[in-house]
Amino acid sequence: MEKIEKKIDLWLEDNYDLATKIEITRLQKDDPQQLSDAFYRNLEFGTGGLRGVMGVGTNRMNQYTVGAATQGLANYLIQQFDQEEIRVAIAYDSRNNSRFFADIAADVLSANGIQCFLFSALRSTPELSFTVRKYLCHSGIVITASHNPKEYNGYKVYWQDGGQLLPPHDKNVIKEVEKISKLNQVHRNRNSELVTMIGKETDEQYIENILELTLHPEALNAKNNISIVYSPLHGTGGVIIPDVLKRSGFHHVAVVEEQVEPDGNFPTTPYPNPEERSTLQLALEKADKINADIVMATDPDADRVGVAVRNNDGEMVLLNGNSVAALLTYYILSEKKRNHELTGNEFVVKTIVTTELISDIALDFNVGCEDVLTGFKYIAGKIAEYEGKKQFLCGGEESYGFLIGDSVRDKDANVTCCLFAEMTAMLRTEGKTVVDLLHQLYRDYGYYYEEQVSITKKGASGAVEIRKMMQTFRENPPKMIASSQVTKFLDYKQQICIDTIADKTIKISLPSSDVLQFYTEDGTIITVRPSGTEPKIKFYFSVKEKVKGSETIEEVERLLKTRTEKYIDHLLTSK
């Protein structure tokens, strides 16, 4: 509390704007708990960078935390590239204050003698990654809180490879930010000569790159037979996706009119997360009205996409991120094989909480499959590691993110929408649906059933609760979970794997991270980790069963769902 009070006093005494000081004074009187939450820590870079609720305080997104973060980044860039003309690209999404924060970033960077390429209007996160590489930038910034509620905003930082900051750069930037204790350490006088506005010319290069990644550009008749409903959910996806779908050959694309206009209040959905069925409700209604084949909706910064397809009973069914990633991986690999483009030197990447179905598919095609920690920055890191040595084909994660090709180094809903639509069209030429292909994968490789449970714990007290839960699981790992013996216990923070059957401990090669995994004797994998971007602790459950000849997919699904419910009930109610 003493540290919190010192921070508050500093904000009241230093040259902060009057509105900020009035708000702090109001919170001192009306809501001291909220004020404490606003100052109890500094925002940190997690798996998605800087992200938090907008408002006053060191633990909030505001002009001062954004300014300090940018000054810290500028200081680090100058240290790293002292003799070079440093270049940084800046983009922003439709969230409230996104343009304001992007301008602050440009102010600070240019005031420090750094050349800025600032988008003149909102653009997606993947286009920012593309721009960093295309303009040979040393870094990039995108202002977004991805799929978080409207109260949030965020600040993602990219390195010169186009991927998000990885160690040691992420921690080193934080160290530079932490050195900034006074307002006068942040330079805010923009040097307009160092700020170049960019827009449509960059869009065109990005779109051309997407079109080059399609596997069947010539299949115009097949594509013209597919009907699509698309929603940008009031975000950046509307800038690129309808146009790129049309130019790829899809002429029956209906956009959800109520969700076209960029709006940081997200008036038609309380939570702009395409993982949620309620978020896609307007798009699903439109799809039934026009009998569309596919629904696709992207989050505000267009790096994630939610997908629904029509099943064989004519109903629209939602696909989770694992299913989309597995389907696209299979499609890409099978088409590459058909065209004799697989040499044995290719690889795909997934995170440790993403379906093992991808690993099975890759093995079947003699393609390498690399596991990385949660966060797409680690997928980008693996691409960089193998650059010039192996060919990256695609990568995905369970949280609705996917990437094809290496021109972008973050998940890319723009290209994912295009390729998913193409896959649907090509399946139609074979008399199949997306659901048919998914069921085929289950029969060929086994039915993987995945479920995620998140527990929200807000504020300083919530952070303590999450740490205690992780500590309990780490220090007293369960030997049995729902009558199934734990055969392996992985502690990624300590970088060890304990094999309880062989009674031995081996080293984990992945970087240290606050993640725990439990493997059980029936093949189930359970992962526990605190979220890097939200006040949550997340539990991932993955169960598998072979589909026997006479069994239906629905029968196996019911079996796996029941098994998962037992695991969830045992693990969550015991802690």
pLDDT digits (tens, 9 = 90+) for 18-45: 999 999 999 999 999 999 999 998 877 6
> Is residue 453 within a helix (H) or strand (E), and if so which, with residue range?
strand 447-456
> Which position has the token pair 């169960």?
543
Take residue 428 and report the two structure tokens written for it: 């139609």
Give yes or no for a contact between 148 and 154, defined as CB atoms under 8 angstroms apart: yes
- 291 neighbors 364 (Cβ within 8 angstroms): no
> With b meaning 16 or more CB within 10 Å and e meaning fewer, what string describes 364-377?
ebebbbbbbbbbbb
At residue 257, the pLDDT reads 97
DSSP string over 310-379: E-TTS-EEEEPHHHHHHHHHHHHHHHHHHTT---S-EEEEEETTS-THHHHHHHHTT-EEEEE-SSHHHH
All residue ranges of the chain with pLDDT < 70 are 45-49, 574-575
Domains of the chain, first to last: 1-40 (no CATH), 42-198 (3.40.120.10), 206-216+223-445 (3.40.120.10), 449-545+553-573 (3.30.310)
Rounded to whole angstroms, how far apart are CA atoms 410 and 125? Answer: 8
Q: Are 360 and 407 in contact (CB under 8 A)?
A: no
Exposed/middle/buried for 554, CB within 10 Å: 0-12, 13-18, 19+? exposed
pLDDT given for residue 171 in this prediction: 84
Do residues 138 and 160 touch, judged by C-beta distance below 8 A?
yes
Q: At what angle do helices 434-445 and 357-364 cross, to 10 degrees?
A: 80
The residue from 94, 139, 146, 399 that is catalytic is 146
Phi-psi label, residue 146: left if phi above 0, alpha if psi -120 to 50, beta otherwise: left
Catalytic site residue 139?
Answer: no
How much is the pLDDT for 49? Answer: 67
From CA 316, how far away is CA 100, in angstroms rounded?
Answer: 39
**0.75 surpassed by pTM:** yes
The span from the CA of 560 to the CA of 522, in Å, is 11
Look at residue 549 in the predicted model and tell me its pLDDT: 86
Give the integer Cα–Cα distance in Å for 69 and 382: 26
Is 208 buried (19+), middle (13-18) or exposed (0-12) by CB count in 10 A?
exposed
According to the model, what pLDDT value does residue 480 have?
94
pLDDT (0 to 100) of residue 535? 85
Contact of 358 with 402, CB cutoff 8 Å: no
How far is residue 297's CA from residue 302's CA, in Å, rounded to a whole number?
A: 9
The separation between the first and the last C-alpha atoms of the chain, rounded to the nearest angstrom, is 29
The distance of Cα 138 from the centroid of its chain, to the nearest Å, equals 22
Cα separations in angstroms, 545 against 236, 337, 439, 539, 542 = 40, 27, 13, 20, 11
CA distance 78 to 508: 35
Q: d(Cα 571, Cα 466) in Å, to the nearest integer?
A: 15
Q: How far apart (Å, rounded) are the C-alpha atoms in residues 138 and 116? A: 10
Would you state the pLDDT for residue 302? 98
Q: Which residues contact 389 (CB under 8 A, 6 or more apart)?
A: none
How far apart are alpha carbons 253 and 245 in whole angstroms?
Answer: 8
> What residue has token string 């065109």?
204
Other Cβ atoms within 10 Å of 312 Cβ, number: 10
pLDDT of the residue at 533: 72
Cβ of 34: how many Cβ atoms within 10 Å? 14
What is the rounded CA–CA span in Å between residue 107 and residue 112? 9
CA distance linking residue 375 with residue 371, whole number of Å: 11
pLDDT at position 46 is 57
